[in-house]
Amino acid sequence: MNKAHEIDSPDKITVSAGPEAGVASPTAISTAACKVNEHCVGDHWTVGDVKLLARLIAIIAMGQAKHAARIIADLQPAVPALTIDVLRSDAKQRLTVTGDTPEKQDAHRWHRDGLIFEAISWIAARQGAAANVLMRDPHISATTQGLDGLMIELDEKGETVVRATILEDKCSNDPRRKFRDEVLPAFRNYHAGKRASELVAATSSLLDGKIPDEAVMEAAGRVLDMAFRAYRAGLTINPDHDSEAGRTALFKGYEGLEKITGAQRIGATFLPPSELRTWFDEIAGRAIAFIDVLGEDDHQCSIR
């Protein structure tokens, strides 16, 4: 196939078979270091290329995070490897708010927005990751429980774990409450060793096939050593929190994770370009529109 698909939307989305279409040279999420306090380092996220971001969210929702990682790392065209009907249908369902009562719709909207934000967090991390960084795929089901995210950095030889970052992401209109009541307690459990087996299992899974089998468990064990441990809390914010003072108040209590440095406590904040729920509705709509385009012309899309 050697033609492009186009649709009209807030921004026209074009999926082309040409080598230059959809190339991920811009970043989907703009990231910048920002100041919090001596107990925590900050990472500030805003929307970069909104069309690219919508495409990546759609690809992740279609269960193809590993392909999305290649798009980000290798500047490949931002289209999925697989576009069959069932994948597109499942992804659209995940990105659509449903429910037969306002209460159910509201609950489902927060679940959906949480999945989208987890994808945003993953994209932000992937954009700056070296080839020796391994990450768990973001969840695509709102019912998935357990570890939100894990990022493992290996040494230059790709043999030894030099950093293990535990990620917790929360999408909310009340980020302070989420950090205080949900993120910090989760981090405290990891810090106290209460979920050590889960961390080792997740790390082993990431290392499998990357290093010799006989070295996996020893390497995975490093995730339990606080010298190599880091935590990253990712929160949606409004302009009231978008200052050094606002971030300091937001991440109050982070210093309670003792015996690590401020550089091992990361406070990441995402400031949407408009009101939180309105913007998440918009980005979900863009992702769905892109998925619909993929179904045209006998449900095929060239990825050359």
Task: Read off the tokens for 97.
Answer: 């708010």
DSSP state of 136: P
CB 40 within 8 A of CB 265: yes
How many folded domains does the chain comprise? 1
Percent pLDDT > 90 in the chain is 73
pLDDT for 8 equals 37
Structure pTM? 0.87
pLDDT for 25 equals 55
Strands (E), 148-238: 149-154, 161-170, 229-236
Which tops the pLDDT comparison, 213 or 295? 213
Residue 11: band (very low, low, confident or very high) from pLDDT cuts 50, 70, 90: very low
Burial of 132 (0-12, 13-18, 19+ CB in 10 A): middle
Measure the CA angle with vertex 51, ends 68 and 77; round to 5°: 45
pLDDT at 37 over 70: yes
Q: Is residue 227 part of a domain?
A: yes
pLDDT tens digits, residue range 180-202?
A: 999 999 999 999 999 999 999 99
Residue 275 to residue 124: CA distance in whole angstroms: 20
Please state whether beta strands 229-236 and 265-270 pair in parallel, antiparallel, or not at all (unpaired): parallel
Burial of 154 (0-12, 13-18, 19+ CB in 10 A): buried
Which range among 22-36, 108-122, 134-148, 275-289 shows the weakest confidence by mean pLDDT? 134-148
pLDDT for 142 equals 61
Q: Helix, strand or coil for residue 13?
A: strand
Instruction: Count CB atoms within 10 A of the CB of residue 166.
Output: 22
Q: Is residue 164 part of a domain?
A: yes
pLDDT for 128 equals 82
> If you average pLDDT over residues 125-138, what whole number do you get?
90
Cβ contacts of residue 136 below 8 Å, gap of 6+?
Answer: 147, 149, 150, 151, 202, 206
Closest CA to 172 of 228, 247, 126, 238: 238
pLDDT at 212 over 70: yes
Strands (E), the chain: 5-7, 13-15, 29-37, 40-47, 133-135, 149-154, 161-170, 229-236, 265-270
Q: What is the domain extent for residue 150?
A: 5-299
Q: Is residue 140 part of a domain?
A: yes
CB 196 within 8 A of CB 224: yes
From the CA atom positions of the chain, what is the Rg in Å?
20
Q: Is residue 304 part of a domain?
A: no
For 51-89, b/e burial (b = at least 16 CB within 10 A) is bbbbbbbbbbbbbbbebbbebbeeebbbbbeebeeebbe
Q: Is residue 242 part of a domain?
A: yes
Strand partners, 133: 153
Task: Read off the tokens for 203.
Answer: 């790390």
pLDDT tens digits, residue range 54-67?
A: 999 999 999 999 99
Q: Helix, strand or coil for residue 16?
A: coil
Q: Is residue 71 part of a domain?
A: yes
Residue 284 to residue 177: CA distance in whole angstroms: 25
Which range among 173-182, 205-214, 226-235, 250-259 shows the weakest confidence by mean pLDDT? 205-214
What distances in angstroms separate CA 233 from CA 42, 161, 167, 183, one per listed residue? 10, 21, 6, 7
Closest CA to 168 of 128, 126, 139: 139
